[in-house]
Amino acid sequence: MKKLTKEQQRKRRRVRSRARMNGTADCPRLSVHRSLGSMSAQIINDVDGKTIVSVNSKKDVDAKADAGERKGKTAVGFLLGKKIAEKAKEANVTKIVFDRSGYAYQGRVQALADGAREGGLQF
């Protein structure tokens, strides 16, 4: 039996979860991507195949902003969630489906979800 790498395991989890979720015009999908150095998020309408809103931690987030007691990359994730919620409100999006893309719901991914909820998005 061949051993899978961590990236292959994550891709399998991503495919399994994406089979059950789909972003529509009424309830688009918030997709998260994280790497060692940065993080990005998009709100996607899968029916039309269009990205409604996107943010990136390198371009759109001021790391010195207030993130409560969070520090480091977790703080950046929280601020990214608040920023995408702000942009989503401008695009008249309030309800979403959260797609964690196979990443564990902890740390930066959880902080992004918390920031998006605090910004007014409903999951």
**Residue-level pLDDT at 63:** 73
**Residue-level pLDDT at 65:** 83
**Residue-level pLDDT at 75:** 93
Structural domain spans, the chain: 6-118
**Residue-level pLDDT at 74:** 93
List the pLDDT tens digit at each of the 123 positions of the chain.
Answer: 789 999 999 999 999 888 888 888 889 999 999 999 999 999 999 899 999 999 999 998 887 788 888 899 999 999 999 999 999 999 999 999 999 999 999 999 999 999 999 999 998
**Residue-level pLDDT at 24:** 83
HSE value, Cβ hemisphere, 13 Å, CA-based, for 26: 0
**Residues 40, 31: Cα–Cα separation, whole Å:** 8
CATH number of 6-118: 3.30.420.100
Q: Which residues pair with 42 in a beta bridge?
A: 31, 54
**Residue-level pLDDT at 34:** 93
Residue of 32, 42, 28, 48 lying closest to 93 (CA atoms): 28
Q: What share of the chain is helix, strand, coil (3-state, %, to 5)?
A: 40, 20, 40
**Residue-level pLDDT at 61:** 85
Beta carbons of 93 and 122 less than 8 angstroms apart: no
pTM value is 0.90
- b/e map 70-108, b = 16+ CB within 10 Å: beebbbbbbbbbbbbbbbbeeeebeebbbbbbbbeeeeb
